[in-house]
A and B are shown apart, each in its own frame.
Chain A
Amino acid sequence: RKEVEQDPGPFNVPEGATVAFNCTYSNSASQSFFWYRQDCRKEPKLLMSVYSSGNEDGRFTAQLNRASQYISLLIRDSKLSDSATYLCVVDTGFQKLVFGTGTRLLVSP
């Protein structure tokens, strides 16, 4: 079983739609959680950290459920520029990031 599992997609949505991505992780000792965004043939960039209380950054909302070892990302009012791969990332506490395979999002006009 992979340490971090994501649906690879692709998720095809029209502009303005709301889309949600989910991720599960296997190491219950994991301490920090993130969503990174990766554009085609580019490096990953931090989108947002994920906190147990849930956190929001503009159109993006992230949630963490430690009991279920589940992380989610909600994108509201999708823009064409949101098209990218979204990587679920877990830090087990040793500064070693464990990445999921990524979920590909395609937003169409």
Chain B
Amino acid sequence: DTGVSQDPRHKITKRGQNVTFRCDPISEHNRLYWYRQTLGQGPEFLTYFQNEAQLEKSRLLSDRFSAERPKGSFSTLEIQRTEQGDSAMYLCASSARLAGVFYNEQFFGPGTRLTVL
């Protein structure tokens, strides 16, 4: 499968615990995005990387959230001291930045569903 992959697919944790999610983008894609989706809502942008550089972070991303993409390939999203309000689907997407192309389609992974008890 050459699509975007995410691990784990489901995570149940207790309030106050730390969790880490992984995203593997499509191999030739240099842009990687994280979104969060709650029930009945569309995905909300969290942050994005071009190669290993984190270029933008949403105000939704509190200090408890950190994302990395150390070698410009896979990315991790860590949530520290989880709260019940963090329960959501965390989606990763990737795209290729092609010269001369105004918009490059973002391909989404299957998501990691987080439940905080």
Query: How many residues on chain A are close to B (CB under 8 Å)?
Result: 22
- Contact assessment for A99 and B48 in the assembled complex, using a CB-CB cutoff below 8 Å: no
> Does B25 make an interface contact (CB < 8 A)?
no
Which B residues have a C-beta under 8 Å from some C-beta of A?
31, 33, 35, 40-45, 48, 56, 91, 95, 102-106, 108-111
> Does A101 make an interface contact (CB < 8 A)?
yes
CB contact between A95 and one of B31, B44, B109 (< 8 Å): that residue: B31
- A-B CB proximity, top 5 nearest: A99-B42, A43-B108, A32-B103, A96-B45, A99-B43
Q: Secondary structure of the A side of the interface?
A: strand
- Interface core residue of B40, B104, B106 (most chain A CB under 10 Å): B106
Given contacts A95-B95, A96-B56, contact A43 B48 (CB under 8 A): no
Which A residues have a C-beta under 8 Å from some C-beta of B?
4, 8, 31-32, 42-46, 49, 87, 89, 91, 94-102
Give CA–CA (A100, B33) in the complex, Å.
Answer: 18
Given contacts A32-B102, A32-B103, A43-B91, contact A95 B42 (CB under 8 A): no
- Contact assessment for B56 and A87 in the assembled complex, using a CB-CB cutoff below 8 Å: no
- Residues in B neighbouring A87, C-beta threshold 8 A: 42-43
Given contacts A32-B103, A94-B56, contact A44 B108 (CB under 8 A): yes
